[in-house]
Structure 1
Amino acid sequence: LDAVDQAVEAAIDHAVAAARAAPFPPLSALTTDVYVKYL
């Protein structure tokens, strides 16, 4: 169980580091796919 916990924690740490290193999306992308007009 400890090995699983360590693997999950490592995956989370890696994801957080990648997210912090990534650039912010452009402002025009903030509303993409938020409002959809259905026919």
Structure 2
Amino acid sequence: DDIMVEVSGVSPPQAISTFDDAELCESLRKSISKSGYIK
């Protein structure tokens, strides 16, 4: 999981490490969880 990403610009958003960090809607989080993905 070492994928290099470079972000530029004024006040870029914080990195998202997990799906929980992404603040997705409940139905999408449930689908991701059922699929077995964690990040």
Using the size of structure 2 for normalisation, the TM-score is 0.31
Higher relative contact order (CA 8 A, sep 6+): 2
Q: Which has the higher helix share?
A: 1
Using the size of structure 1 for normalisation, the TM-score is 0.31
Report which of the two structures shows the higher radius of gyration computed on alpha carbons: 1
